[in-house]
Structure 1
Amino acid sequence: MKIYLLFLVAFALAGNSWALDRCSVVRAIRRGGVVGIKGYTLGDYVCLAYHASRYDTSLNRSPTEYGIFQINSYWWCDDGKTPRRKNLCGLPCKNLLNTNISDDVKCLKTIVSDPNGLGAWNAWKNNCKGKNVSSYVRGC
């Protein structure tokens, strides 16, 4: 009975998490046409996804950060509640919370083309910038 209850609690806590496997993330980013923009490598983007969300597409860590890359609702998407939002990617933030990350990668392309590039993310600056990130794509 205790094991059954433990299983139910674990299932309930994990029920809203949609983490992708690393190689699925690699494939989606490759298809998205972002590799090479401003010299960023595939490893840079996968490293960002790992440190921003642990590849969890359903993550809404703060009221303004959405999806696998933790894209900000003030600048990049419309959450319907952030005042004076820009929505420069032209999409609802809820679209960033599913396992189809093609729209996330398309928005990522817009963000990376901005002057800040990947420097817009502390997760990338603190964990990936200037480091060997080849392990994030190895075997995929």
Structure 2
Amino acid sequence: LLVFLGLPLPGTQGKVFSKCEMVRILRQNGFEGFEGTTVADWMCLVEHESSYNTTAYNNNGPSRDYGIFQINSKYWCNDGRTAGAKDACHIRCSELLNDNIEDDIRCAKKIAREAHGLSPW
């Protein structure tokens, strides 16, 4: 996915994580070996999707990608604007744009679990 990296939305509090912080967070949250992936795989994903920025946002036209993992509004979160959205993570997309990434992690792991890997990205 192509993203407009680091494009903050007005009124959102966010954070740009350092690589070391992100590695620590991914390890602490059990990403090593999760669904056949490695922390290195997730680091590559986060770097290319959001540049470690929790306020990253990309408008794809019919849907949008939100947060550090660029979670899509068509399938995973509810932005109130995406027609036919599934909201499989049961979360408002705006909640994926703050500096608390616990909910982002839960949703990213749900996506990877259902896909048995990182293919949705």
Contact 1:32/1:102 (8 A) holds in 2: no
- Out of 18, 24, 31, the position equivalent to 2:21 is 24
1:13-52 to structure 2, matched below 5 A, reads 18-52=15-49
Partner Cα separation in structure 2 for residue 90 and residue 51 of structure 1: 25
> Highest CA radius of gyration, 1 or 2?
1
SS state of the match for residue 79, structure 1? coil
The aligned counterpart of 2:93 is 93
The amino acid across from 1:102 in the alignment is E
Partner Cα separation in structure 1 for residue 42 and residue 81 of structure 2: 28
The aligned counterpart of 1:80 is 80
Moved more, 43-52 or 111-120: 111-120
Contact 1:28/1:105 (8 A) holds in 2: no
1:107-126 to structure 2, matched below 5 A, reads 107-115=107-115, 117-121=117-121
SS state of the match for residue 96, structure 1? helix
- Out of 57, 61, 66, the position equivalent to 1:60 is 57
- The CA deviation at 1:116 is 5.8
Identity of aligned residues (%): 41
Report runs of 4+ in structure 1 exceeding 6 Å deviation. none
- Please provide the CA RMSD for this pair: 2.0
- How many residues of Structure 1 are paired with residues of Structure 2 in the alignment? 108
